[in-house]
Amino acid sequence: GERSVLLLDTLDVSAYSDAPLTDADRVAPLRPANAAYVIYTSGSTGRPKGVAVAHRSVVNQIGWVAGEYSVDASDVVLWKTPTTFDVSVWELFTVTGLGGRLVIAAPDGHRDPAYLVRVIEEQSVTLTSFVPSMLSVFVGEFGVGACSSLRAVFVAGEALSGQTVSQFRARNGAEIHNLYGPTEFTVHAVAGPAPEVLDAFVPIGAPVYNSRAYVLDARLQPVPDGAAGELYMAGVQVARGYFGRPDLSAERFVADPFDPAGGRLYRTGDLVRWATDASGAGVIEYLGRTDFQVKLRGQRIELGEIEAALLAQEQVGQAVVLVRADDLGDRLVAYVVPSAPGTDIDVDALRAAVKSLLPTYMVPESVMALDAFPLNVSGKLDRKALPEPVFAVAVFRAPTTPIEQLVAGVFAEVLGFGANEATGEESRRVGLDDDFFALGGNSLLATQVTSRLGAMLDAAVPVRVLFEAPTVERLAVAVESHTGTTRVALEARPRPERVPLSLAQQRMWFLNR
């Protein structure tokens, strides 16, 4: 069928040839086992790992999505996932290979739930995907009957709660499918529809086409149904390995003892168990990680890579990174000891240096400098004795203009700095120099800030504005410039009846893409 791609931003392709590729353009024969792409994931040694994925693996994944969900030329897919995240593979190639329509989201559009609602409705999108935390935010942006063009929503990247599914179903009739897959197994490895009767967390389903899942113990022996074990995946979607890293490949890509033909297993590092769904079919339930790799806001992170970036700085002698949880969600917190005893660490300079080495979602939200790390009786680091993180508050300068007061109020509301019931005083004042992220904000809370400001100003405020101008004073100037809102006009504008809910009022997982 005829293919069409809708570009929301203009893309000049006039400099590229549209002539078909021939063997003369290739330096070697093209085979299904050849690498289609290399995508990088976090590495525990401080060096990112490049996962080499074969053409046949991609073809199998796309064939499974198309067949399992009956995708055809009538479908409209929203491509909103950055290409650094492998979920983008199915979004980009499935519908275009079948003659359907691909809608390309604007830059940073995946962070803005109000924008996503608008695009889905305007472009009649039928298929899209979310991580669970972002789905929860998205659901809060539309009422019953909105986004009615959707027929299926794929959810992957984090544990999916039954509460999130119930909230979505109360507003939209699209099917919810829970999917799971490491980059080393080419996007999605197992999947299944969310059941009608929901538990705390939704099972991740059963293997995709031409794939096998094993739940094994430390001796690579299958564990009984219902018992916890490590998930190993086998089949055509197993990646070629880590590009240029045979040592790391040998750790994770192991011989398959259940395959007479001598295939390979991918050791996921995820703890799971086999269960039975309402129909009697076997499904897999996700329980957590088996190592120091963590899942934060939909991204797999090796904490060792962040520690290596910290230790690369001359002023740091020791470093450890943990994920800490509080009322606003999970946060990356770094603890550092100076290389020269008795000296001070420039925390701001340290965070800036790490930010130049790592993607934003891997930069610690708080860095705590200690004179020494606490040790247990055996002389090892006592992680439980590390102090709780402290998020910095700048010397207070009171907001003066209406728009500065508006921004400060939204910061306080989203971050949960509410009034003390006994005294009526604010638990923490937000001033002109306070940085949203230094106060404990993150990328998902940032979407709430811009959504609230947009509702109050009756104008679109892209989330990237907050990332570029994270203090109250700078954001007030940026919002005023971006929206064209004047201080006089703001004073005359009434507060809207409906303001998007603050994430501080919800308990959920968080995503930074």
Contact 117, 145 (CB under 8 A): no
Of 185, 297, 270, 191, nearest in space to 233 by CA = 185
**pLDDT, tens digit, for every residue of 397-439?**
889 888 899 999 999 988 888 655 555 555 578 888 888 877 7
Q: Which residue has the higher pLDDT, 237 or 346?
A: 237
Task: Give residue 504's pLDDT band: very low, low, confident or very high (50, 70, 90).
Answer: very low
Task: Give residue 79's pLDDT band: very low, low, confident or very high (50, 70, 90).
Answer: very high
- The token duo for 96 is 């275009």
Contact 107, 9 (CB under 8 A): yes
Between CA 49 and CA 289 the distance in angstroms is 19
Task: Give residue 511's pLDDT band: very low, low, confident or very high (50, 70, 90).
Answer: very low
Region 190-219: what's the mean pLDDT?
A: 93
Chain-wide mean pLDDT for the chain?
Answer: 84
- How far apart, in Å, do the first and last CA atoms of the chain sit? 34
State residue 512's pLDDT score: 32
State residue 236's pLDDT score: 97
Contact 511, 301 (CB under 8 A): no
447: pLDDT strictly greater than 80: yes
State residue 445's pLDDT score: 85
Region 345-369: what's the mean pLDDT?
A: 86
Between CA 365 and CA 354 the distance in angstroms is 11
Q: Which residue has the higher pLDDT, 468 or 130?
A: 130
77: pLDDT strictly greater than 60: yes
487: pLDDT strictly greater than 60: no
CA dihedral 275, 66, 262, 181 (to 10 degrees): -50
494: pLDDT strictly greater than 60: no
Q: List Cβ neighbours of 57 (8 Å cut-off, separation of 6 or more).
A: 36, 186, 236, 237, 238, 239
Percent of the chain with pLDDT over 90: 39
Region 283-300: what's the mean pLDDT?
A: 77
Beta bridge partners, 127, equal 77, 152
State residue 493's pLDDT score: 53
Contact 10, 209 (CB under 8 A): no
Between CA 439 and CA 414 the distance in angstroms is 11
State residue 113's pLDDT score: 86
Which of 207-216, 289-298, 448-457, 476-485 has the weakest average pLDDT? 289-298
- The token duo for 434 is 């306070």
